[in-house]
Structure 1
Amino acid sequence: MRRNATQTAPGAEAPEGSAAKSSGPGRILIVDDEANVRAMMGATLEHHRHHVHLASNGREALEMLQQDTFDAVLTDIVMEDGSGLALLERIRAQHPYLPVIMVTAVHDISVAIDAMRRGAFDYLLKPFEREHLVASVHRALEHSHQMLENRSYQENLERIVMARTEMLRQAMQDLEHSYDITLEALGDALDLKDAETEGHSKRVTAYTIALARAMGLTPEEIKTIARGAFLHDIGKMAIPDNILRKPGPLTDPEQEIMREHCTRGYHILRKIPFLRGSAEIVFSHQERFDGTGYPSALRGTEIPVGSRIFAVADTLDAITSDRPYRAAGGFDMARAEILRCSGTQFDPSVVEAFLKIPNELWYELRAEINGQARRYTTADMAAEALARQMADKQ
């Protein structure tokens, strides 16, 4: 037997399994295999203006819960087609916000305790006074209303947190972008001071990033290494111009001063929180894998991985760039020199990753940094081969 109910007020919204927006009239599902009990409870609740649906067993109740929403369920514990406790568990699993009132003629406290442990909202013993039934339903509707408000508050709070988190993330991105613009300005200032290596910082940074990616480093590690590569010579800002721009060979004392650029660069950057990791790379970018570098004569993996990667990228750019005292060499020449110095100047694992990267990538990176929108062609390869032949003859 099923008694149809009137619809809830337009615009009413609720959590899954609940239609209540207030503790006033609610939509109630009554489940009992005794027709007279269903009718009595239904009539009592309708007298208090509640909208009632009736189900004679658990299967029918579950079908109705799938098709409609309710504010509370009253179910008998013992029914011919199965236990009301099983129905309670299904409702709790599928509609966790829906209060369930257990109704039974079994006067056994252990049954009541078991029902409450399984998530029942209340427990009524037959025969019960009608006012007890009405009061229990009223409490269930108050509970449903409170659960709705709490859930709505929680969802609204989560939306606010998500929105503010996104705003913070965007602000951090904007701040980081402004940092990188500042760093680029510093690098450009260094290029202006040391015209011999104009564009070197950008090229060596691009090469370092490509190598770091090939070695499987994380995006955060690559970001730190890239900044260190870009600012590796920042300490030269503190080197006197008569040494930095000297056209001929440096004397031993001048060499010592020039070597201070690693430490000076480190001290410039280390006090900037987001550049602390990069400062370590600036400090150790002149170390050699065999321990013969400076300023600390670090050996092997004592050298930060970013500095070991940078060393290969730096040599790649140095060999393939023009200098006042020599013309630029080709990428094959750089590959041969880097391979020759594997295990002495360079980390063999970095060299291995470098050798797997084709010359085309380095050429295109260099062309992009230099503002040359063209690709590595067969003509370029032929020109490099000719340059190697002429170098061999000399």
Structure 2
Amino acid sequence: MTVIQGQKPNILIIGSETTLGRHVREALARQEYRYTCAASVEEAVSANRHLGVDAALVDMASLGAPAGLSLAASLRRALSHLPIVVLTSAPGVAIAFEAMRLGATDCLRAPVSPTDLREAVERAVRWRRSAAGRAGALDRLAREMSSRTNALVSACAESGMGSSVALEEWVSALYGRDRWMWDHVRRVADLSVLIATTMGADPRVVAEIGRAALLHDVGRLAIPAGVIQKPAPLTRDEQTLMRTHVQASYEVAMSLPFLEPLAVTLFTVRERYDGSGYPLGLTGDSIPFGARVIAVAEALDSLSPEDADETSVAEANAGLVQGAGTLFDPSVVRAWLRYLDSGVRRSACY
């Protein structure tokens, strides 16, 4: 186990004998972070016990995907409140999604710039500071959602998962007295279905997108009300906490079999077409189709609520056009404009 002293938080590095790993060590040293290199979960636990570590970086390129994923899962079980950042050079997003499912809190894909690394480490350290409060809220959310599982499964037994009535009743009950949020997610679901249908998506895909849209903000229920309702600007720690809502949505969906197909879409609804979103900074078509559709639908509802006048609607559409290619997928924006021009009005069904 190697320990390098510095002035900033202590970062644990597991699997660092690759070009990527060496690059990360050098970048941490230049930024005056302390870092500790470990070769196993046992060494990581020992380092945390004797030295104290603030975040872990797991180099998947050094360990290989199966071993790296297994190690990340074991590390999460052993050190439940330690933020884990996975480093990968693998193409696509499959490894990142699986790592997040197993408990990683962030993922960096090569090439990793010093700025990317610094920001990821800062996010991880802030995540640790807020983890205790978030974990309690997430546990309460998971228990509440689990308590409603039997009712939803029973309601869907005859009509299947496509039953909008069963799903709407369950989600409506989940949001409780927050009628504004319930109305918002229902409108976003309707808009998402209309856009996906206009784009010619398979009816099963359309239905899945509608269900994901209905649940796209469910992770926000895990965030303390004091943060959600705070009238003043959020602190950096509070902003970090807010961003964990997609992870909360993902974790809850993966824990319930009937929601599992929606998990990836729920996890990526805050990604943006130009890579400026979170949590993975995905770009273009690497963002799942459903997430790209929901991003446009949510922007529409935020910019032009249900009772908006014609001027507000026109301004909302202009905002979408302006954001096409940066915040939004241009093909999704074009589909919405085609729908408006068609004069056809469909009923949403998900």
TM-score (norm 2): 0.49
Q: With the length of structure 1 as denominator, give the TM-score of the two structures.
A: 0.44
Q: Between Structure 1 and Structure 2, whose CA radius of gyration is higher?
A: 1
